[in-house]
Chain A
Amino acid sequence: MERNLHIKKSIFLEPGRFQLMDKHDPTHHVQGRTKKESLSHEERKKQLEFQKEAVVHLNSLYNYALHLTMNPSDAEDLVQETYLKAYRFFNSFERGTNCKAWLFKILKNNYINRFRKNSKEPGKVDYDLIKDFYHSIKDIQNDTSEAESDYFHSLLHEEVYQALHSLPEEFREVIQLCDIDGFTYEEIANMVESPIGTVRSRLYRGRKLLREQLEGYAKKYGINTDNNHNNQ
């Protein structure tokens, strides 16, 4: 029922939101209506399965895209493209494997193709960009129940975020996939196209670097990192 409401809203209140998808397939609305009667049982089955398997990971994908692009608008575009591609190639998704991992890999490839070609040198961190990004996101999220009003907690989120993004990409990536998105080493190895041993050592070194960063912040602000995670 809730899903249907989304569809109504999307069609009648915000027609301009679909420019990106219309660009890829300008006739899909017309086709959708005229061919409705002839849509095969298989196609409907595919849609339902796609919603059940793939659409449920929307929030995770959006957050992954935010981490990669550090820009909410680019992140939205990236997620849209990912789902469009995933839907088209859903038949090639190996049933029984982790659909979230499959989607993450598509998103990462899209990101590389679309954004990284023109980006600055890899490995260089723009702290101002991270700060701006974080504040823009916080402003957007202010009306949600998840927003933090407590300054101490807000600061700490930002520090951890900043520390994570200060790591070289190869370390940040595996930490993110493991600690935030909960993938197994085998899935991560497949995603970053490296052996499991490499995933292990990157996680080891990455966490060590991260800890040093956090200790640096803690000293700077007089915070005791030992108890950070207990103060929520």
Chain B
Amino acid sequence: MNCQKARVLMSAAVDCELSFKEEQGFLLHLSECKECKNEFEEAKKTKMIIKEKIVQFKAPQTLINSIMELTSFSTIEHEDTLLFE
């Protein structure tokens, strides 16, 4: 495998999306090519930074309520009854 082919496989290697055969070839190339190995490490690190640094917000309670309302039409009257018991 040459560097060009290794770059084609680089992202899939980061995301564990390579076939067994592709992975074998890719790892073999990394063991022989320092440049591609560095690039692979950097790409993994970039993925990690995105995963860890992008804040995931909680949906607002009002939104949660309205979605629950959407999928609970049949229970509305039952809830009314319960509330006034």
Contacts and interface: CB of A to CB of B under 8 A. Distances in A.
Interface of A: 3-4, 6-12, 14, 17-18, 20-21, 28-29, 31-33, 36, 39, 43-44, 47, 50-51, 55, 58-63, 66, 72, 76, 79-80, 83-84, 87, 137, 140-141, 144, 146, 148, 156-157, 160-161, 164, 175, 178-180, 184-185, 200-201, 203-204, 207-208, 210-211, 214, 225-226, 228-229, 232
Contacts of B45: 211, 225-226, 229
A232 B43 CA distance: 20
Contacts of B12: 185, 200
Contacts of A157: 53-55
Interface residues of B, number: 48
A183 B47 CA distance: 13
B53 A58 contact: no
Contacts, number: 178
B70 A21 contact: yes
Chain B interface helix/strand/loop/mixed: helix
A43 B83 CA distance: 24
A140 B57 CA distance: 10
A160 B60 CA distance: 23
Contacts of A76: 60, 62-63
A17 B67 contact: no
A160 B54 contact: yes
Contacts of A228: 49, 53
A32 B77 contact: yes
Contacts of B70: 21, 80, 83-84, 87
